[in-house]
């Protein structure tokens, strides 16, 4: 009788342990699914971040080029203004016709 009671108790313990093992496996599978999902989302965010960085880098480079072109044009306009001004002063000094028309 005592042996039968121990066998019944062992069977109950085994049943509880099997149930606990099944629950742990299910939990492990759920966590594995979450890790896979989060890893995929992380890759997507890294790609989005890379795309955004590339976009802003292109815009920065384009802005830099436009600033250089603007400076060149400003220098050209300033130089042309100075040349016209100096030409007008020279015409006045030499008392040439058309002096001061500019």
Domain assignment present for 69 = yes
The residue that leads in pLDDT, 64 or 71, is 64
- Please indicate, yes or no, if residue 47 is contained in any of the structural domains: yes
Looking at the domain assignment, is residue 102 inside a domain? no
Is 66 within a domain?
yes
Domain membership of residue 42 (yes or no) is yes
CB atoms within 10 A of CB 61: 10
Q: What is the pLDDT of residue 72?
A: 83
How many residues would you count in the chain?
102
User: What does the DSSP 8-state code read for residue 57?
Assistant: H
Please report whether residue 84 resides in a domain.
Answer: yes
At 98 the pLDDT is 54
How confident is the model at residue 37, as a pLDDT?
Answer: 97
| Cα–Cα dist 85/73, whole Å | 18
Task: Please give the torsion angle defined by the CA atoms of residues 68, 73, 74 and 76, in that order, rounded to the nearest 10 degrees.
Answer: 130
- What are the tens digits of pLDDT across the range 41-61? 999 999 999 999 999 999 999
Instruction: Place 70 in a pLDDT band, splitting at 50, 70 and 90.
Output: confident
Which range marks the domain in which residue 66 is found? 1-95
Domain count, the chain: 1
User: Is 87 within the bounds of a domain?
Assistant: yes
Q: Is residue 101 part of a domain?
A: no
């Amino acid at each position: 009788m005592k042996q039968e009671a121990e066998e019944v108790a062992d069977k109950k313990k085994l049943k509880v342990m099997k149930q606990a093992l099944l629950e742990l496996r299910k939990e492990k599978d759920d966590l594995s699914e979450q890790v896979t999902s989060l890893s995929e989302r992380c890759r997507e965010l890294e790609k989005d971040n890379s795309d955004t960085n590339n976009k802003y880098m292109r815009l920065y480079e384009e802005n830099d080029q436009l600033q250089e072109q603007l400076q060149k044009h400003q220098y050209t306009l300033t130089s042309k203004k100075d040349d016209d001004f100096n030409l007008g002063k020279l015409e006045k000094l030499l008392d040439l016709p058309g002096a001061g028309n500019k």
